[in-house]
Amino acid sequence: MTKTVLVLCTHNACRSQLAKAILTHDLAPAVRAISAGTRPANEVPAEVFAALRLAGLPADGLVPKSLDAVLDEPVELVVTVCDDAKESCPVFPRPVPRLHVAFPDPMGQPLARFLEVRDEIRARLVPAVRQALDAERGARP
């Protein structure tokens, strides 16, 4: 059964978009990642698309979304990738496990910084999400 993971960030423009694409790719078919922002930006910067494509990851259809757009989704895990989103993470209609793994915001920096953040997300977040979902599965009867 596919688990839905919500990646939450402030602007849903850089870190959460990178994480959504990486988690969906690296943990498929077990995980479907969605993303949202507590205060979404107007657009995803070109560097996010470039960073994903340079790693051979799909980058189509990435647009910032508000948390309201995904609150009704059946989510098995909420992942916050910035401290601000962790602090303002809402209460969901049902209890949902949470995981916080913060990454630096590359917005406004050169492409090289986006590549570093992309690689850090892949190295740290993918195993953390896998472990959190495995622990959740083990906690159920």
Q: Which residue has the tokens 């590549």?
A: 115
- Examine the residue annotation and report whether 14 is marked as an active-site residue of this protein: no
Structure tokens at 35: 């993303």
- Examine the residue annotation and report whether 82 is marked as an active-site residue of this protein: yes
In terms of C-beta density within 10 A (0-12 exposed, 13-18 middle, 19 or more buried), how is residue 139 classed? exposed
Of the candidates 5, 6, 8, 9, the residue annotated as catalytic is 9
d(CA 36, CA 38): 7
Of the candidates 82, 125, 129, 132, the residue annotated as catalytic is 82
Of the candidates 55, 89, 115, 126, the residue annotated as catalytic is 89
Tell me the catalytic residues.
9, 82, 89
